[in-house]
């Protein structure tokens, strides 16, 4: 086996298609060990489930993010975990969009939502930031609100006076983490429909 065949096999094992991506899949979160498994990292958790399911890895550093390439629902996709910290997520997404000339409607963002119960999914074609700083950044940097998204419920604060930052940066309890892991798998299934233009079906099947 020559070196070119070995490189081809390595790329296949990594899920790299060798073609320009048609979609960008973005899981939001904060980098660093201290934030692993936090509520705010529900997007990263979902990307981890996607990596395991499809056998690829976001192990390259590009566009201010950890990125990987794979095929989802027959479509070539760039999968991203921004390393900019949540409030600057749009910087990473904008770089990737501009590099590959990907339209906003082909960017699917996965993130946490405190207004939903732990494990609930909510898929939308577009929408406002709803107070989420990562989404605010993407809207500001990338051209508006017209990108589809998958929200993973992480639960509301235990009481109104509880510090929001402390809540979203806190860890899941055991039962809630099980619900999140199950929701992440459903989100992976929903992605397959969404990239095939079946977002309405994904909403009717997975919104809860």
Active site residues: 40
Residues 6+ apart with CB under 8 A from 35: 29, 41, 169
User: Which among 80, 65, 92 is positioned nearest to 21, based on CA atoms?
Assistant: 80
Q: CA 183, 185, 186 angle in degrees (round to 5)?
A: 65
């Amino acid at each position: 086996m020559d070196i070119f065949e070995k490189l081809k096999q390595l790329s296949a094992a990594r899920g790299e298609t060798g073609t320009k991506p048609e979609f960008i899949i973005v899981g939001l979160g904060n980098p660093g060990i201290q934030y692993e498994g936090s509520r705010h990292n529900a997007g990263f958790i979902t990307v981890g489930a996607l990596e395991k399911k499809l056998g690829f890895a976001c192990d390259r550093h590009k566009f201010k993010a950890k990125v990987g390439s794979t095929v989802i629902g027959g479509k070539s996709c760039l999968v991203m975990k921004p390393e900019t910290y949540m409030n600057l997520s749009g910087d990473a997404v904008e770089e990737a969009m501009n590099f590959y000339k990907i339209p906003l409607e082909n960017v699917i963002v996965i993130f946490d939502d405190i207004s939903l119960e732990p494990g609930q999914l909510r898929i939308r074609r577009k929408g406002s930031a709803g107070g989420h700083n990562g989404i605010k950044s993407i809207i500001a940097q990338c051209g508006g609100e017209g990108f589809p998204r998958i929200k993973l419920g992480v639960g509301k604060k235990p009481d109104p006076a509880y510090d929001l930052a402390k809540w979203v940066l806190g860890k899941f309890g055991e039962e809630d983490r099980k619900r999140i892991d199950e929701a992440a798998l459903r989100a992976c299934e929903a992605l397959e429909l969404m990239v095939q233009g079946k977002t309405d079906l994904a909403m009717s099947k997975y919104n809860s």
